[in-house]
Amino acid sequence: MNGPGIPWYLAISAILFSTGIAGVLLRRSPLIVLLSLEIMLNASNLAFVGFSRLFGQMDGQVFALAVMAVAAAEVCVGLGLIVAMARRNLDLDVDRMTELRG
């Protein structure tokens, strides 16, 4: 490959994943928590594609596509939950969703 090597890909992947972690833990809006989750899934996808290129095996790319499908499923259910919360006039705030606390 003429361009940057795999370590560069992994570095970007790590930066994105840390950004996602910070977003999930810092933000209180469930929508932005979901968006941050997407960032984390995409960071792992980038690592998959990078390693797939490193080893010359395409299984990593196949798994990246599977991750995309799981992410779509997760967004479908997550957004359904958020809309259900909004229709019951609950606060859209993950810190106040404490009913399941044991």
Partner 1 sequence: MGNFLVWVIWLLAAAACVGTGLRVVTASNPFSSALSLIGNLASLAVLYLLASGEFVAAAQILVYAGAVMVMFLFVIAYLGGRADAPWAGGTRLIQTASVIAATALLSVVFVALMLNADGRLSDEAEVTRAFGSPAEMGRLFLTDHLLAFEITSIVLLVAAVGGVVLGMRSENEALIDAGNGEGA
CB 45 → partner 1: shortest distance, Å? 7
Instruction: Give φ, ψ of 10 to 5 degrees.
Output: -65, -35
Distance CA 64, CA 60 (A): 6
Q: Binding to partner 1 (CB under 8 A): which residues in 40-59? A: 42, 45-46, 49-50, 52-59
* Burial group, residue 80, by CB count within 10 angstroms (0-12, 13-18, 19+): exposed
CB 12 → partner 1: shortest distance, Å? 5
Q: Considering the complex, state which of residue 25 and residue 100 has its C-beta at the smaller distance from partner 1.
A: 25
What is the x/- site pattern for partner 1, positions 56-95, by CB under 8 A? xxxx-xx-xxx-xxxxxxxxxx-xxxxxx-xxx---x--x
Residue 96 sits in the site that holds partner 1 (CB under 8 A): no
User: What is residue 34's DSSP assignment?
Assistant: H
